[in-house]
Amino acid sequence: MSPSRPSGDAPRGYIIPIGGAEEKIHDPAILKRFAKLCGGREARIAIIPTASLASDTGRRYESLFDDLGVAHAEALPLESRNDCEQPEALEALEQATGVFLTGGNQLRLATHLGGTPIAKAIRLMNAAGVHVAGTSAGAAFLSEHMIAFGEEGASPRAGSVTLSPGLGLTNRVVIDQHFRQRDRLGRLLTALAYNPFAVGLGLDEDTAAFIGPDETIEILGSGAVTIVDPSEIEFSSMDQATRDEPVCLLGVKLHILIRGAAFNLHTRVASPGTVATTKG
């Protein structure tokens, strides 16, 4: 699956994975930035709470975005693949200037939305300039290769992670969430050992990676984003390892980025960005 290509001169929209548990009350910086990108007081946010089993998730995010002053925030009740084919759902989605996918279970997103008209519409809208954010499970689903589930721990082990197709807004990254809080370095390394083309994004809670149309990632939030760059791997034992065996990886590059830092997916170069001026 290749991401939809921008049409004409319009840049594609931002892709914004959030590590989960984003601040919602005292200083909701991530949600504020998303709402501003989507048009501020003119913004129309379509909320997709499909990943969540909690019945009030959609209403809660409607209220949060209303409090931020957007023009309209609406949760779309997409509880089945049939729901994702209804003309009224597509019409509501296509009026949005921003799409927000909530947390929950990313396999619900993959199995309910994958390949449906709703998923295709989100891909085309993002290519045309609409911004798409996802938190927790919603973050994992944004990329082409999605971590469906896996084991915790710091070391990569063969068979410790299961991948499935995601939404496919980008094929440049593999995303993991609740990263430091749930000790998920090992499963992200394992996923990248399967596919060294992509860059790994390990998102702490209340931390977001704003992936711009120029493929530059900017960090916002109270935690860190662990960037795992496997492009210069010198050796991997993944092809020799049996299930549950540790995997040897040589030459993996790792960056820890905090608010204000940046990473370019084209050049694979990290920068302290505004951190250098505010902390220096």
Active-site residue list: 136, 178, 205
Answer left, alpha or beta for residue 250, where phi above 0 means left and psi between -120 and 50 means alpha.
beta
User: Whole-angstrom Cα distance, residue 189 to residue 179?
Assistant: 12
User: Whole-angstrom Cα distance, residue 197 to residue 60?
Assistant: 37
DSSP string, the chain: -PPPPP-TTPPPPPEEEE-SS---SS--HHHHHHHHHTTGGG-EEEEE-TT---TTHHHHHHHHHHHTT-SEEEE----STTGGG-HHHHHHHHT-SEEEE--S-HHHHHHHHTTSHHHHHHHHHHHTT-EEEEETHHHHTTBSEEEEEE--SSS-BTTSEEEEE---SBSSEEEE-STTTTT-HHHHHHHHHH-TTSEEEEEPTTEEEEE-TTSEEEEEESSEEEEEE-TT--EE-TTTPPTT-B--EES-EEEEEETT-EEETTTTEEE-TTHHHHH-
User: Whole-angstrom Cα distance, residue 51 to residue 109?
Assistant: 6
115 Cβ partners below 8 Å, 6+ apart? none
